[in-house]
Structure 1
Amino acid sequence: MSPTIVLISGAGRGLGKGLLERFLAKENHIVIAANRDPESPTFKALKELPAGPGSRVIVVKVDASVESDASAAIDELTSTHGIDHLDIVIANAGIAYTFPTVSQLKGEDLINHITPNVLGFVWLFQAAIPLLKRSANPKFVTMGSATGWLGIPVANAAYAPTKTLTHWMTKKISGEEDWLLAMIADPGWVQTDMGNSSARMLGLQEAPDRLDESCDGIVKVIDEAKKEIHGGKMWSYHGNEQPW
């Protein structure tokens, strides 16, 4: 039986690593971990994670700020690793290093966030299309965020707009590509480095949502997702459709 093949960007830590661990623990899964520096000890250690029967991990280089990286990774996967299709692509990579209001926002910081968070997302989607089309049930999942909701503006004028853009683009992908399930997964405000950093800036000790619960819920939503129900919408890790 053909394996289920999952590609996750930003899979070296936090949500990306948590999702990788869960898909890798399943039977007959190939999980592709796309990272900026696959030669670093952190990313090499991904190959040592527990794997289910017939499952394995492949680590490839994808720097979301480099336009050619996603297509080069797809070429490597097909030519070197024998990957002939992708069943699930999870666009998870992103950065958030400053939390300004609009009045404080520097143009350089906005551009630095847009490049990996938005353009990196677009480049990954475009590069993955040929292999997704070879899947019997292709799914493209955008890691969303409540910071991008228009109904609840968040004081993060560098990062939040990039999530609004990727939410919009995912909805458009769902409408434009009738062969593909494209959806947004809202992981919550998770206890990752990024989540806890933003929480401390707001006077909290840590983010409220546990990483394990978020990752378990996201995988369940992805496994159960159907285009006619989930396509072009945002879904929380609890399995509820989110307003935005």
Structure 2
Amino acid sequence: MTTTFITGGNKGPGFETARRLKDLGHQVVIGGRDADRTRQAAETLGVDWVTADVTSDASVAAAAAELRTRFGHLDVLINNAGVAGLIADLEKFDGPEVLAVLDTNAVGPVRTLHALLPLLRESANPVVVNVSSGLGSFTVRADTSRIEHSVPSLGYSAAKVALNMMTSMYAQFLPEIRINAVDPGYTATDLNGHSGPQTVTEGTDAIVALATIGPDGPTGTFSDRHGPLGW
């Protein structure tokens, strides 16, 4: 059975991804920084859970130790946990605001991947999916027909640009692992006040697709539910 760990799995796309992968036969473990909410979500889904705050080295290390004790290995890591941060006129941003978003959305996946790398290396087909965004794509943001073009998401976009570059580099230097970035698209979630036109199921199509690839699947790619995206 494929063992899959999803950060930020207690709500939104993480929750829906957990539901869908469980239905596909995965042994799913969700992680979240709030133990009570994560446990409740896991009980609703019928999956396993651990406490995991991706902004804390100690929390991620403890989650990795618990996963090793309980499962012995990990096949799929989905770096889904994230925060929106400030969406406002750019003069309203400051260093601490941007740094906080970078810590969760860019450094968080680094903490998590490095803590879980020994467990992924125990898998015959290790896979990592980094949940990125079109807001972190130079190509998408340059397209005036796209909603992303006009969103003043300084911290969020900077973090997703960083995540995309890290995805490319990890794929290059860890060739034994399939590592890809996905854009869920403008999906109705807590991050945007449920304003997105896509359902959460549509928003998880690309995540599920890249989480279920085989050893001959792609690596170092960036895509959404419709296909490849420009970086």
Match of 1:200 in 2: none
Alignment partner of 2:66 out of 68, 73, 76: 76
CA–CA distance in structure 1, aligned partners of residues 74 and 50 of structure 2: 14
The one-letter amino acid of 1:22's match is: R
Q: How does 1:148-167 map to 2 (within 5 A)?
A: 148-151=136-139, 152=141, 154-167=151-164
The one-letter amino acid of 1:90's match is: I
Would you say the 8 A contact 1:19–1:215 is kept in 2?
yes
Provide Cα deviations, 1:25-71, integer angstroms capped at 9, x if missing partner.
233x3211110012x1x3222233355xxxxx221111121122111
Consecutive unaligned residues in structure 2, runs of 5 or more: 142-148
Alignment partner of 1:45 out of 40, 52, 56: 40
**Larger helix proportion of the pair:** 2
Match of 1:13 in 2: 11
What is the aligned-residue RMSD (CA, Å)?
1.8
Would you say the 8 A contact 2:83–2:104 is kept in 1?
yes
Measured after TM superposition, the shift of residue 233 of structure 1 is: 1.0
Measured after TM superposition, the shift of residue 101 of structure 1 is: 3.8
The one-letter amino acid of 2:166's match is: M
CA–CA distance in structure 1, aligned partners of residues 200 and 76 of structure 2: 21
For the residue of structure 2 that corresponds to 1:21, the secondary structure is: helix
Confirm or deny that 1:137 pairs with 2:132. Answer: no
CA–CA distance in structure 1, aligned partners of residues 201 and 136 of structure 2: 23
Alignment partner of 1:93 out of 81, 102, 115: 81
Provide Cα deviations, 1:164-193, integer angstroms capped at 9, x if missing partner.
001100110000001011000111111111
CA–CA distance in structure 2, aligned partners of residues 49 and 31 of structure 1: 13
The one-letter amino acid of 1:140's match is: V
C-alpha spacing 1:34/1:131, structure 2 compared with 1 (3 Å): same
Measured after TM superposition, the shift of residue 131 of structure 1 is: 0.6
The one-letter amino acid of 1:70's match is: V
CA–CA distance in structure 2, aligned partners of residues 218 and 170 of structure 1: 14
Alignment partner of 2:50 out of 43, 60, 68: 60
Measured after TM superposition, the shift of residue 195 of structure 1 is: 2.9
Q: Which moved more, 1:149-158 or 1:218-227?
A: 218-227
Match of 1:211 in 2: 200
Match of 2:169 in 1: 172
Consecutive unaligned residues in structure 1, runs of 5 or more: 52-56, 198-205
Alignment partner of 2:219 out of 231, 238, 242: 231
CA–CA distance in structure 2, aligned partners of residues 77 and 221 of structure 1: 22
CA–CA distance in structure 1, aligned partners of residues 52 and 106 of structure 2: 14
Would you say the 8 A contact 2:84–2:101 is kept in 1?
yes
The aligned length equals 222
The one-letter amino acid of 2:177's match is: L
CA–CA distance in structure 1, aligned partners of residues 27 and 128 of structure 2: 16
